[in-house]
Amino acid sequence: MPRQKRGKSPPKTAQPPKRKRTPNAAKNAPSTERVEATPPAAHNINGVQVDYVKLAAEIIKQQNAASESCAPIPNSSSISAPSTSASPSTLAPSTSSPSTLTPSTSAPSTSGQSLGASSSATQPADLLALIDNVFSSKTGGCQHCPESVSYTNIHSLPFTRDLSAPSQQLLQAALSTSSRMAYYRSWQLFLQWKPSYTSLPVTELDLCNFIGYLFSANYAPSSVSSHVSAIGYLHKICSVPDPTEKFLPKKLLKGCHALAPQQDTRLPITTDILRRIIKAIDITEPLLCNRLLLKAFYLLAFQAFLRIGELAARSHNSNQVVQRSDVNFKISNGILSGVTIVMKHFKNNIEQKPVTLHLSNSSSITFCPVRALYDYTTHFAHTSGPLFQFMSGESVTHHFISQQLCKVVSFIGLDPKLYKGHSFRIGAATHAASLGFSENYIQKLGRWRSNAVRRYIRISSFDI
């Protein structure tokens, strides 16, 4: 039986229309093969699987402020709103790695990727070198650190290095030496709390937690604000997004002031209490050299309205306290009549101008600050270095003075929690007011630059 021709079979009668389609028809017809060959942009790019739900959750976890403070992510809009036309490089998982967004909680990347187009990871020593440079008394942030030091998003240091000499001088003078030292200590405190930080910027979350840590450690609201200012200063001078300008840290600082005790519990050391302290030193301190030192220190602090930090160093840097060369005694015909003290470093000395204090002998030899200071310097016979130093030549520390004051105050039957080193300054202002001196004159005596002197005058503490 002859075979049936294939041209007459039913399947071939349905296929000729496909082969006879015009080019325009083929162009307009949707191609199912092309759709199947293109991977969905939301699931696979260049063979890399991307889970955008997890990616969005990670970005939210880092918080918007933390994301802003880190290096900008190229085409970040395409990450939050993925599109099939976005380039694979903008959607690659490596650009949104948690280690990039969180420099404080993860180790520096070893893959060679940078945090941004012009940033790089740093080692811990690099951040310390940056802090040393900005808060150095010699450079004040005007000089660039060694070339081996790299920074994260820092552009201003080379810029400040290229400033003219007068501009650099103005920049250095804008921050006083005492403030520069205080800011340096604030950064040391922050790095002790968060040693994992290797680069800027500080995240808003860590800054908020640092504020909470300081408050829980019973830091005064003013001290907390000062530490936060130090963090903000370094960010500003390095042209890095400043987390201290965010809404949440500002509210936390306001909360510190709202929850902290508003009343200053420190009581003034009156003339009567001062006399009792001087007498008790002969009993509480066995060493003659320390007795002479403490008597001169306490009497001078009261008579000259001095802060403890102006006479005793808080750290090994003893150049900021009164030096022995700053003290000159007035002796005429073999009789000691007074002493002059040149104050070169003190709080709020914005003009950087020294102030000379003149003290005269008092009628009581036992409680005369001039006589006590003269006996102390004669016994120690030192001609250089800090005014108050031990026999070994080491500077008297703030801790030693506070410790000895606590011991002698307890001995005379008073509460050491109420009488601190600043009680001498409070007592001096109150005593001057009780003698009839005006508030303006007391302000000049104590070198106050504002009406803060009013908080030191406590007439109710005296029997007038």
CATH code at position 234: 1.10.150.130
Task: Provide the 8-state DSSP code for 91.
Answer: S
What is the total count of domains within the chain? 2
243 and 308 share one domain: no
* pTM more than 0.85: no
* Residue 251: predicted pLDDT: 95
Tell me, yes or no, whether 356 and 318 share the same domain. Answer: yes
Of 259, 290, 314, the residue that ends a domain is 259
Residue 329 lies in a domain: yes
d(CA 154, CA 112): 18
- Do 281 and 358 fall into the same domain? yes
In a domain, 311, yes or no: yes
* Domain-located, residue 425: yes
Assess whether 185 and 302 both reside in one domain. no
Which residue is it, tokens 């039957």?
A: 413
Q: Name, of 25-34, 51-60, 330-339, the range with top average pLDDT.
A: 330-339
For residue 456, the domain's CATH number is 1.10.443.10
Q: Is 128 a domain residue?
A: yes
Q: What is the mean pLDDT of residues 369-390?
A: 93
Q: Is residue 113 part of a domain?
A: no
Average pLDDT for 113-123: 36
Task: Categorize the per-residue pLDDT at 352 as very low, low, confident or very high, splitting at 50, 70 and 90.
Answer: confident
Q: Evaluate whether residue 43 is within a structural domain.
A: no
135 and 158 assigned to the same domain? yes
Q: Are residues 356 and 393 in the same domain?
A: yes
Question: Are 212 and 277 members of one domain?
Answer: no
- Which residues span the domain enclosing 294? 271-461
Contact between residue 358 and residue 338 where contact means Cβ atoms under 8 Å apart:
yes
Answer for the pair 453, 443: CB distance below 8 angstroms, yes or no: yes
Structural domain contains residue 435: yes
> Of 236, 259, 282, which residue is a domain's last?
259
Could you tell me if 297 and 435 lie in one domain?
Answer: yes
* Mean pLDDT, rounded, of the chain: 75
In a shared domain, residues 296 and 433: yes
Pairing verdict, β 44-45 and 48-49: antiparallel
422 versus 65: the higher-pLDDT residue is 422
Regarding whether 300 and 191 lie in a shared domain, the answer is no
Q: Domain ends where: 259, 286, 318?
A: 259
pLDDT-based confidence at residue 30 (cuts at 50, 70, 90): very low
Looking at the structure, tell me whether residues 292 and 188 fall in a common domain: no
Contacts of 273 (CB under 8 A, 6+ apart): 412, 414, 419, 427
Q: Say if residue 237 is in the same domain as residue 317.
A: no
Judge whether 310 and 346 are in contact, CB under 8 Å.
Answer: yes
Q: In angstroms, rounded to a whole number, what is the distance separating the alpha carbons of residues 287 and 279?
A: 15
Examine residue 217 and state whether it is found in any structural domain, yes or no: yes
